[in-house]
Amino acid sequence: MEDPWQKAYDFAVTVARKAGEVIRKAGESEIKVSTKSSTVDLVTKTDERVEKIIIGSLKEEFGEGTHCFIGEESVAKGEPCILTHKPTWIIDPVDGTTNFVHGFPFVAVSIAFAVNKQLEFGVIYSCLEDKMYKARNGKGAYCDDELIQVSDVKDINKSIIISEHGTDRSPEKVKKIFSTMQKILCIPVHGLRGSGTAATNMCLVATGAVEAFFEIGIHCWDIAAGAVIVKEAGGVLLDVDGGPFDLMSRRMVSANNEVIARRIIKEIEIFSAERDDDMCEIQLE
Ligand SMILES: O=P(O)(O)O[C@H]1[C@H](O)[C@@H](O)[C@@H](O)[C@@H](O)[C@@H]1O
Ligand SMILES: [Mg+2]
């Protein structure tokens, strides 16, 4: 029987690489000549421009109207953020936006694809490192053409944990974020890290470079592709309260094994973040 999504998967890799090229060019030319303040506007244009290229390429390849799109920039402009049963692309055109503005070298294009509300595949192109991470449901996870596996570390005292403080600077949230990080550091673990992009953090879990990544405040487009890649690399995904992973919940723990995931969950001070699908007034089918 023909594999219905292989063509979409291969095309997603091509589009991610093309988008990464646009980001690299923008970084090399426009960013260097502008001051930081004007750079921020430029980055918004770059984010929007890259998302338009990605969605435009997908619509050209698969036709208008047959597929749905959840893109960070489109949702920011009021497009719906609801996962229906239709084939749906979940896109973060520039994950690591702040990194990009500052020339901090971790910026990723994240493209995921879901059918019947199930994630089918994920592609993350770390465009400044020129590394293509990808995974299809049930078919393993790869960095370029090399199979990748999560870490085999069982003891959390011998782990590196990665997380982010996000963009919210409200004192009560910042306090909870850093109190959680302090408790995890003092378990103790070998170290805490953060690349500045959730997609890259999840690839670091999938390659075994770190044992776990957790964050409250991320969006579905930050983690959808990484979720498939971590799972196919042998990792686990949970909600920060220990329940099942929920793509639209704005929170997540991904780890190399469940013991380490649940040990981290014990230390997380949970704060609320409005669900991605609640942020959308329009309720689709
Ligand atoms: O770069 P973004 O697409 O905005 O996502 C980032 C976010 O900006 C940062 O604060 C962290 O939450 C990262 O985990 C996200 O990937
Ligand atoms: Mg992002």
pTM, to two decimals = 0.94
Domain 156-265 has CATH 3.40.190.80: yes
> Would the annotation count 246 as a binding residue?
no
**Whole-complex ipTM:** 0.94
| DSSP secondary structure of 104-150 | -S--EEEEEEEETTEEEEEEEEETTTTEEEEEETTS-EEETTEE---
pLDDT reading at 57 higher than 70:
yes
Kindly give the pairing relationship between strand 251-255 and strand 212-216: antiparallel
Q: Taking 70 as the threshold, does the pLDDT of residue 189 lie above it?
A: yes
Task: List all residues whose CB is within 6 A of at least one atom of ligand 1.
Answer: 72, 92, 95-98, 164, 166-167, 197-198, 215, 217-218, 222
Q: What is the pLDDT of residues 207-264, one digit of tens each?
A: 999 999 999 999 999 999 999 999 999 999 999 999 999 999 999 999 999 999 999 9
> Residue 43: what pLDDT?
67
Beta carbons within 10 angstroms of residue 98's beta carbon:
13
In which residue ranges of the chain is CATH 3.30.540.10 found?
Answer: 6-147
Query: Which top CATH class is 6-147?
Result: alpha beta
- Mean pLDDT over residues 68-94, rounded? 95
Ranges of beta strands (E only) in the chain are: 68-71, 88-95, 108-115, 118-126, 131-136, 141-143, 146-147, 160-163, 191-193, 212-216, 236-238, 251-255
Instruction: For the chain, give every residue range classified as CATH 3.40.190.80.
Output: 156-265
At 169, which amino acid appears? R
Structure tokens at 274: 């409005």
d(CA 44, CA 24): 15
Tell me how far the alpha carbon of residue 198 lies from the centroid of ligand 1, in angstroms: 6
Q: What is the mean pLDDT of the chain?
A: 93
Model pLDDT for residues 252-275, shown as the tens digit of each residue: 999 999 999 999 999 999 999 999
